[in-house]
Amino acid sequence: MFDTNDTTDTDHTHDGHGPGDVGPVMSAAVRRIAPVWKLEDFVAVNPYLGMVDLDVADAAALLHRAAGARSTAPIRHRLQQLDDGIITRQDVADALSGALRHSAVDVDGFLAEARSSGELEGVRPALTLTSCAEAPGGLDLDRFMVERLGAWASAFHDDGQASWRSAVRGEGIFASWRAEALVDRTPDLMGLRGFRAAVAELPADHASAATSVLSDAGLSAELLELYFQALLLSVPGWSAVAARMDWEAGLRGGEEDHLLQWLAVLVCWDHAASAAAGTPTSVETWRGRLADRARHAPTELSIALVLQDARDRAARRELARRLETADRAAPSVAIDVRAQVVCCIDVRAEVLRRHLEHVAPDVETLGFAGFFGAAIEVVPLGHDHAVAQCPALVAPAHTLHESLGDPDRADHAVRSRRLRHQLRAAWKQFRTGAVSCYGFVSPVGLLYAPKLVSDAAGLTRPVPAPGTAELPRWAAPGLTPAPDGRVAEVPLDARVAIAAGALRGMSLTEGLAPLLVLVGHGASTVNNPHAAALECGACGGHGGATNARVVAAILNDPEVRAELAQRGIEVPPGTHVVAGVHDTTTDQVTLLDLERIPATHRDAVERLGSDLHAAASRVVVERAHRFAPTARDAADEARRRSRDWAQVRPEWGLAGCRAFVAASRARTRGLDLGGQTFLHSYDWRRDDDLAVLEQIMSAPMVVASWITLQYYASTVDPELFGAGDKTMHNVVGRMGVLEGCGGDLRVGLAQQSVRDGSVLQHEPLRLSVMIEAPTAAIDAVVDRNQAVAQLVTNGWVLLHAIDPEDGRVLGRASDGAWAPVACGPVGSDLSASDSEGELAA
């Protein structure tokens, strides 16, 4: 990491005054920022995405230096777990001898140090130029910067809230900010006299502006990068929005520089504000502070990292022990499988699968990414904007149009929707118009009294459900992405590719049961800005029913089956594929497109439907334990939550996620994994060229790590990476939330999503990945995929192999060596999780 070299020396050797120096450092700095998606399609993002080329400890050090971030659970908490026997001394010893650097090598010495240590100080360091300036009139300049830049950014990124747009659009971030800064009188009025004049002197081009500002500072590349990181992380939310614009350009194959422009804005603000602050700012003081901070390496951080690593080791040891013992106890799958049910890998599906297998032992369940391999986008009926139904890592390959079977009826519905939308838009202008709002409230306002009461009682929704909004009532039930059970909008070869990819990915190229059910999942919540976070992440934060229906239609397509047969994948003529959807909020499972079921399969489908119903009613009871006890029936309570407009926890989402298992179900069948484990079906014997394994490790495993790390970061540093308190959320620009009236956009998950009062529902752990395959196969994939290699070798996920022969779990150290992780039984008889045990208490 950063050397603590003398800054003046580097100035001379690298010609730190030269304008060429700033640009590359800026480019390097912006790569560290992870993107954030709009609320409409809010998907989990690994907040450390830009740091995966560093190992966990280096990233934690960097984040701490630049932003005072915490990257682990508190030391005190981990020590408590040590006392409680959840972490063993052996875990600590292993962690000490592992890749993490710490001076103490013997466990006793380390623990003595840990027990006498305080917690890591989480205070943001003062690294800006303005923090060295004398602020006029008691103004907190750093906070003022976040407020003012937030005010501009809110208007610039506004996606339809303000009807009078007040930020210059279309000329890029820097030009728009500069235009506003020349007009906005606030800094001058708040005592920063001359702020506008200072901005006016800046070059209009972002790169030259940043360079000209920093040319006299004489900062080495190291200090520059620290300064840039500190700036970007002082407004992590708006930085992430700019990063997403770059990301989307990248998905389209282009390259754009929104985040670079944003960094230039931050640099220029800092410069102009300190120039306007009145008293001359001492550049030497500033450089000194940066240099001090670059050397900053608190021992609390390294202690906390070792303890975090020890806890991760304990968790994986426990999981490995259970997997190894379960193998012996697993009930064998019935030979005559009545139906195969494929669920999403989502941790919530684990609960459903477990209960379904319990009520229907002759049903086999499988796990596969919930978009079922169809990278599609769907244009809702009458809309002009496609919704991506695939993971954020993937660009949609095909565009489908939602429709009704009958074209005339569809036309009618489209016309009706557009007319209603036009009138609703006119009504909204009337309601919010600068003059018309006064003519609106007197006659219409009173009608909100009954609406207020019925919305509060959960009888109505504040606004119509978006999927069917503005459609005539008769049209809603017939909406389908696959009219007539066909997906004609995707060419045949692409359909065949989707079908083959899905069957291979599920290891279902042979042995198909008469009934194959694809169960996507979605959530139903009301008045919840973060609704998308509870939906299917593999479907881009949208409901998974669409993908299930599309892929089911493709797999039932006779043309596709014929082509598949030519490629050696035999779908038996007696196999029918049905789509279904699991509502994770109410825990209801519904089978879809039932009118297309052939007569031969009706009984089987009906029977499976009642099995799913029975399983779901057990799921809802199990999940109710995570909420406060209530006298109500669990299913009623879940329904009530899903309709309550004041509900901040309609469901727990993926809170608690901690492991990813890619194996045959025989390895996990019968185990209660507590809804904390992503389960992907994988049979290494059918994967000769390791294409499926590489696919699993480079896509579903990465997505699982994103989700886990998002929960991790929102828990360990809710200020920097969490979305704050839901009760103060204020939706800005219809695309994100502020906490309160302004400032930075909040990213990540809200407190309410990870904790319940003071009790955490999510224990911050790194993802333990368990793959049933020979270690050589796994090594081969790690070697040929750089993104996977980074995650694994830098410790962002903990990679394990389940030995296909004896079922033993081997862990992969960062040097690539494999060793068993479950070293004998440990005195812990807890069920799936230790924290769950605590929660029950």
Partner 1 sequence: MERVHAVGVLIAPLGFLVAAAVATTAKGVRPTGAIRSVRLGSWIGLAVAVTSCIAVATGGAVRTPLLGAEGLGLSVRLDPLSVVIFTMISVLAVVILRFSVSYLDGDARQGLFLSRLARTIAAVQVLVLSANLAMLVVAWVLTSLALHQLLVFHPERPRAVLAARKKFVAARLGDLLLVIAAAVLYRSVGTGQLDAIFDEATAGSVASLPLAVAAGCLVAAAMLKSAMFPTHGWLVEVMETPTPVSALLHAGVLNAGPYLVMLTTPIIAQVSGAGVALVLVGGTTAALASMARITQPSVKVALGYSSAGHMGFSLMLCGLGLLPAAVLHLVAHSFYKAHAFLSSGSVVDEARASHVPTPQRLGSPVRLALGAAMAVAIYVPSAFVWGVRPDSEPALFVLGAVLVLATTQLVAAVTDSDGPFVAWLGGAVLALVVTSLFFAFEATMHTLLHDLVPDVDAGRAQLAAAGAVTVGFGIVLVQQLRAPSRRDSERRQAWRIHLRNGLYANALFDRLVMWLWRPLDRRRVTATPTGRSTPTSQPALTTAARY
Q: Which of residues 471-500 bind partner 1 (CB under 8 A)?
A: none
Q: How far apart are CA 687 and CA 664, in angstroms?
A: 13
Q: Of these, 272, 738, 769, 821, which contacts partner 1 (CB under 8 A)?
A: 738
CA gyration radius, the chain: 28
Cα–Cα distance for residue pair 63/717, rounded to 1 Å: 11
Cβ at position 782, least distance to partner 1 in Å: 33
User: Candidates 215-223, 455-463, 772-780, 817-825 — which segment interacts with partner 1 by CB under 8 A?
Assistant: 455-463
Contact residue for partner 1 among 22, 52, 57, 531 (CB under 8 A): 531
Residue 161 touches partner 1, criterion: CB under 8 A: yes
- Answer for the pair 696, 737: CB distance below 8 angstroms, yes or no: no
Q: What gap in Å lies between CA 234 and CA 237, rounded to an integer?
A: 9
- Where is 240: in which H helix or E strand? helix 236-251
Q: What's the rounded Cα separation, in Å, for the pair 737 and 573? A: 51
Of the ranges 50-58, 188-196, 476-484, 780-788, which one interacts with partner 1 (CB under 8 A)?
Answer: 188-196
User: Is 462 a residue that touches partner 1 (CB under 8 A)?
Assistant: yes
CB of 461 to partner 1, least distance (A): 8
Residue 403 pairs in a beta bridge with 480
- Segment interacting with partner 1, rule: CB under 8 A, options 90-98, 183-191, 302-310, 335-343: 183-191
Contact predicate 485/312, CB 8 Å: no
Q: Rounded CA gap, 322 and 330, in Å?
A: 11
829 binds partner 1 (CB under 8 A): no
Q: Which stretch binds partner 1 (CB under 8 A): 388-396, 404-412, 512-520, 526-534?
A: 526-534
Is 558 a binder of partner 1 (CB under 8 A)? no
Tokens of 72: 């682990």
**Of residues 217-276, those binding partner 1 (CB under 8 A):** none
Please identify which residue in 208, 751, 785, 814 interacts with partner 1, judged by CB under 8 A: 751
- Give which of 38, 733, 745, 43 is closest to 385, Cα–Cα: 38
By residue count, the chain amounts to 841
Instruction: Tell whether residue 470 is a contact of partner 1 (CB under 8 A).
Output: yes
- Please count the residues of this chain forming the interface with partner 1, following the rule CB under 8 A: 140
SS (H, E, C) 781-809: HHHHCHHHHHHHHCCCEEEEEECCCCCCE
Query: Rounded to the nearest whole angstrom, what is the least distance from the CB of residue 302 to partner 1 in the complex?
Result: 18
Stretch that binds partner 1, among 109-117, 499-507, 679-687, 728-736 (CB under 8 A): 728-736
Angle at 225 (CA atoms; ends 224, 228), nearest 5 degrees: 85
> Which C-beta is closer to partner 1: that of 491 or that of 740?
740
Find the angle CA(89)-CA(90)-CA(92) to the nearest 5 degrees. Answer: 65
Rounded least distance, CB 583 to partner 1, Å: 17
Local structure of 330: helix, strand or coil: coil
Q: Pairing between strand 376-379 and 398-401?
A: parallel
Residue 253 Cβ vs partner 1, minimum distance, rounded to whole Å: 24
Quick check: 719 binds partner 1 (CB under 8 A)?
yes
Q: For partner 1, which residue of 221, 409, 440, 808 counts as binding (CB under 8 A)?
A: 440
Residue 197 found at the interface with partner 1 (CB under 8 A): no
Residue ranges in 398-437 that form contacts with partner 1 under rule CB under 8 A: 415, 417-419, 421-423, 425-427, 429-430, 432-437
Question: Which residues within the stretch 111-130 sit at the binding site for partner 1 (CB under 8 A)?
Answer: 119, 122-126
Sole binder of partner 1 in the list 618, 649, 665, 680 (CB under 8 A): 649
The contact pattern for partner 1, residues 562-601, with x = CB under 8 A and - = no contact, is: ----------------------------------------
Window 616-645: residues binding partner 1 (CB under 8 A): 628, 644-645
Q: How does DSSP assign 316-363, residue by residue? A: HHHHHHHHHHHHHHPPPPPSS--EEEEE-SSHHHHHHHHHHHHH-TTE
Query: How far is CA 34 from its chain centroid?
Result: 11
Interface mask (CB under 8 A) for partner 1, residues 17-56, using x and -? ----------------------xx----------------
Beta strands in 632-784 (DSSP E): 659-663, 677-681, 729-732, 736-739, 745-746, 755-756, 759-760, 767-772
User: Which of these ranges, 11-19, 65-73, 196-204, 770-778, lies near partner 1 under the rule CB under 8 A?
Assistant: 65-73
Among residues 152, 11, 125, 150, which one has the least CA distance to residue 68? 125
Residue 653 makes contact with partner 1 by CB under 8 A? no
Q: Taking the complex as a whole, how short is the minimal distance between the CB of residue 380 and partner 1, in angstroms?
A: 7
Other beta carbons within 10 Å of 347: 26
In the complex, the smallest distance separating the C-beta of residue 384 from partner 1, rounded to whole angstroms, is: 5
Structure tokens at 77: 């908490």
Amino acid at position 663, single letter: A
535 binds partner 1 (CB under 8 A): no
Closest CA to 198 of 280, 276, 279: 276
Closest CA to 32 of 190, 236, 334: 236
The torsion region of residue 540 among left (phi > 0), alpha (psi -120 to 50) and beta comes to left
C-beta closer to partner 1: residue 329 or 631: 631
Q: From the list 200, 488, 691, 741, which residue makes contact with partner 1 (rule: CB under 8 A)?
A: 741
